[in-house]
């Protein structure tokens, strides 16, 4: 049967009609082979526009449809639905993009019209070769994997679990809570972060639908939206939490010493340690000499003498167990939420600010740890009369490569200045800033209150910190006074920004996620799709996507959870219809397609030696088709015949 093609040229208001002579294009289209109807309309995507198409399909018995309008990314789904409504298979539609690729980028009306005609002719030539395709769906593994047990990951896991689905929460550290666990109080409400985290952690730990895996990491992920399979490794803690009575004698016995990351390196810890004040005891596998070198640093006992480790001897509960080994588990999940968090900027990369040189130059994270001590923020460095806060350390700064604003530091500085003033009302507290960004709910009001409290804001980035007569001196320009100033201080707090974690590469390559120029994980659209990634079924939550405060982190976590719940609730996902197929008569079984496919869709059939495509895995990208030397593997709707017919009318 001869194809009966309808061509519909859209004016897009004046977007197309201003540059393309739509009447001429329509006349031209009506002369093309197999075209039985050619029409134009102001807005083809409007209801009357779509009615033109459905009427023609019914009355003129169209078999194929070409819509010449905008990019298929914009309205291909619209017109597919239109022709389906009228009884056609949705895949016998071809879009000619005469807006983005023609009217918007050209100004010469005559030439633009000729180009539009070419694009229409090309689409008409191809559409005749399009074949009806079946829409396919597969069942979904109704569970989700959440990578990262910080505040974002915990909230997302709770939302998934509360909706009735299984959540696997994998955390690299031996404890839940992430960065938030290190913080003292929130801005602008001054709530204790521990008061926010404790109930969240309790709910996560007790939720029947959440399986928490701490001291664990995701080793491998394969599959696709709805049907991922993840391999998770849980590392041993070497301490049996059911026996341990938290007496800390093991810690006293251990001689290995290193900076305590949780305390922002203000203190040291042992190889056996309690990562947070409330977490179970663990042995740091990488640092314990008994595990690494087979000799306990304290007793010098070699490993064959099992009782020889000092911690083992010190433990009255027999809780230490060096025989523990890592545990691998495989889980089937339908969606993945990445909530791996961010690192803090290393202030040593701004050597002019004296961090690492002077003990009383500390980071804002170290301030939080000091303030979180039971005795509160006190006088760890002697008297606290003059305190200087420095904003934008490592952010908005080409010299560090971090061009972005870290969004939290202005309010962190304000909050900490408020804490200092609260503890030492007579202290002279100065914040050196270039811009104060107090854009969140209640932030400007908090900034007002902090200034009212007596915190002084001086406009100018600090350029240098040095020592004179045993006092710290901060050099800056007071830009509003147009004067170089030197201010003495007892304590300098650097408002450090957030940076992508060093491990971002690992998670990005594990899941195939792209990163933005700033190094953070990339959302698919910065405004409209802020939690989705380029990989279907993988969503982002929290600071792994970019710096944000707790409010925004929670919002994004809940958005990611709700996006992840869509396929889980529905129970089925639609898979790509335009997939690759193999002509076994032609296939030589060379395996190039197998090696080329990024999704693992083709495989060689061991019996016939020929390639065969798992259509569920295939994304229709066409890499196999380009690689196949004999054109035995082809993607439907993009076969050589279809593409050549499209090109042939143009040359």
- Distance in Å, CB of 515 to other proteins, minimum: 22
Contacts of 373 (CB under 8 A, 6+ apart): none
Footprint on residues 108-167 left by other proteins (CB under 8 A):
none
C-beta closer to other proteins: residue 357 or 605 = 357
Does position 398 interact with other proteins (CB under 8 A)? The reply is: yes
Find the binder of other proteins among 150, 334, 460, 620 (CB under 8 A). Answer: 460
Does position 359 interact with other proteins (CB under 8 A)? The reply is: no
Element (H, E) at 648: helix 640-648
Does position 609 interact with other proteins (CB under 8 A)? The reply is: no
C-beta closer to other proteins: residue 16 or 409 = 409
**Binding characters for other proteins, 412-441, by CB under 8 A (x = yes):** ----------------------xx------
C-beta closer to other proteins: residue 223 or 497 = 497
Contacts of 591 (CB under 8 A, 6+ apart): 604, 611
3-state secondary structure of 127: helix
Does position 348 interact with other proteins (CB under 8 A)? The reply is: no
C-beta closer to other proteins: residue 330 or 464 = 464
Does position 464 interact with other proteins (CB under 8 A)? The reply is: yes
Find the binder of other proteins among 21, 278, 478, 518 (CB under 8 A). Answer: 478
Whether 476 contacts 372, CB under 8 Å: no
Cα distances (angstroms) measured from residue 609 to each of 603, 606, 612, 617, 629: 9, 5, 9, 20, 16
C-beta closer to other proteins: residue 25 or 390 = 390
CA atoms within 13 A on the CB side of 604: 15
What burial letters (b/e) apply to 382-404, b meaning 16+ CB within 10 Å? eebebbbbbbbbbbbbeebebeb
Number of residues interacting with other proteins: please give it, by CB under 8 A: 28
- Distance in Å, CB of 380 to other proteins, minimum: 22
3-state secondary structure of 27: helix
**Burial (CB count within 10 angstroms: exposed 0-12, middle 13-18, buried 19+), residue 339:** buried
3-state secondary structure of 644: helix
Element (H, E) at 198: helix 193-206
- Distance in Å, CB of 393 to other proteins, minimum: 10
**Binding characters for other proteins, 480-519, by CB under 8 A (x = yes):** --x-x-x---------------------------------
Whether 57 contacts 83, CB under 8 Å: yes
C-beta closer to other proteins: residue 224 or 433 = 433
C-beta closer to other proteins: residue 338 or 353 = 353
Does position 392 interact with other proteins (CB under 8 A)? The reply is: yes
Residue that has been written with the tokens 């640092």 in this structure: 287
Does position 323 interact with other proteins (CB under 8 A)? The reply is: no
Find the binder of other proteins among 383, 463, 608, 630 (CB under 8 A). Answer: 463
Find the binder of other proteins among 118, 260, 397, 488 (CB under 8 A). Answer: 397
Whether 391 contacts 434, CB under 8 Å: yes
Contact set with other proteins (CB under 8 A): 351-352, 354, 392, 396-399, 434-435, 459-468, 475-479, 482, 484, 486
């Amino acid at each position: 049967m001869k194809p009966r093609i309808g061509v519909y040229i859209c004016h897009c208001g004046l977007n197309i009609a201003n540059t393309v002579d739509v009447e001429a294009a329509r006349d031209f289209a009506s002369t093309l082979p197999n075209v039985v109807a050619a029409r134009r309309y102001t807005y083809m995507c409007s209801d009357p526009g779509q009615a033109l198409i459905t009427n023609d399909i019914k009355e003129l018995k169209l078999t194929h449809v070409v819509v010449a309008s905008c990019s298929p990314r914009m309205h291909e789904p619209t017109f597919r639905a239109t022709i389906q409504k009228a009884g056609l298979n949705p895949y016998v539609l071809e879009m000619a993009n005469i807006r983005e690729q023609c009217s918007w980028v050209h100004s010469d009306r005559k030439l633009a019209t000729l180009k539009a005609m070419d694009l229409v002719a090309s689409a008409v030539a191809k559409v005749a070769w399009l074949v009806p395709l079946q829409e396919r769906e597969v069942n979904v593994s109704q569970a989700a994997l959440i990578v990262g047990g910080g505040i974002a990951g915990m909230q997302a896991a709770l939302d998934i679990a509360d909706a009735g689905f299984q959540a696997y929460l994998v955390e690299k550290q031996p404890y839940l809570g992430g960065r938030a666990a290190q913080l003292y109080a929130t801005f602008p409400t001054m709530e204790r972060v521990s008061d926010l985290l404790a109930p969240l952690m309790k709910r996560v730990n007790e939720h029947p639908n959440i399986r928490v895996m701490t001291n664990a990491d995701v080793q491998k992920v394969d599959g696709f939206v709805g049907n991922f399979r993840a391999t998770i490794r849980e590392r041993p803690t070497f301490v049996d939490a059911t026996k341990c009575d938290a007496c800390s004698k093991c810690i006293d016995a251990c001689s290995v010493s290193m900076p305590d990351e949780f305390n922002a390196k203000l203190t040291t810890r042992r190889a056996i340690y309690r990562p947070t004040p409330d977490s179970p005891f663990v042995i740091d596998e990488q640092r314990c000499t008994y595990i690494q070198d087979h000799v306990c640093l304290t007793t010098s006992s070699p490993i064959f003498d099992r009782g020889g480790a000092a911690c083992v001897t010190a433990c009255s509960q027999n809780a230490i167990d060096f025989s523990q080994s890592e545990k691998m588990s495989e889980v089937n999940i339908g969606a993945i939420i990445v909530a791996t968090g961010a690192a803090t900027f290393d202030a040593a990369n701004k050597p002019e600010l004296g961090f690492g040189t002077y003990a009383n130059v500390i980071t804002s994270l170290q301030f939080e740890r000091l303030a979180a001590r039971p005795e509160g923020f006190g006088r760890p460095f002697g008297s606290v009369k003059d305190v200087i806060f420095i904003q934008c350390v490592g952010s908005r700064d080409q010299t560090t490569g971090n061009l972005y604003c870290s969004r939290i530091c202005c309010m962190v500085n304000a909050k900490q200045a408020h804490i200092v003033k609260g503890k030492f009302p007579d202290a002279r507290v100065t914040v050196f800033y270039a811009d104060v960004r107090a854009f969140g709910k209640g932030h400007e009001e908090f900034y007002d209150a902090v200034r009212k409290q007596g915190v002084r804001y001086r406009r100018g980035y600090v350029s240098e910190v040095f020592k004179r007569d045993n006092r710290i001196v901060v050099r800056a320009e007071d830009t509003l006074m147009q004067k170089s100033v030197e201010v003495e201080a007892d304590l300098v707090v650097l408002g450090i920004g957030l940076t992508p974690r060093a491990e971002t590469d690992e998670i990005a390559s594990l899941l195939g996620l792209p990163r933005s120029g700033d190094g953070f994980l990339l959302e698919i659209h910065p405004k409209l799709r802020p939690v989705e990634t380029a990989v279907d079924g993988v969503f982002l939550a929290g600071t792994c996507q970019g710096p944000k405060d707790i409010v925004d982190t929670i919002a994004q976590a809940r958005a990611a959870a709700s996006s992840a719940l869509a396929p889980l609730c529905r129970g089925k996902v639609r898979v790509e219809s335009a997939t690759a197929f193999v002509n076994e008569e032609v296939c030589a079984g060379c395996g190039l397609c197998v090696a080329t496919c990024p999704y693992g869709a083709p495989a060689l059939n061991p019996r016939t030696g020929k390639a065969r495509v798992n259509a569920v895995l295939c994304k229709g990208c066409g890499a196999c088709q380009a690689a196949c030397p004999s054109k035995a593997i082809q993607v439907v709707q993009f076969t050589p015949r279809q593409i050549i017919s499209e090109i042939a009318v143009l040359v």
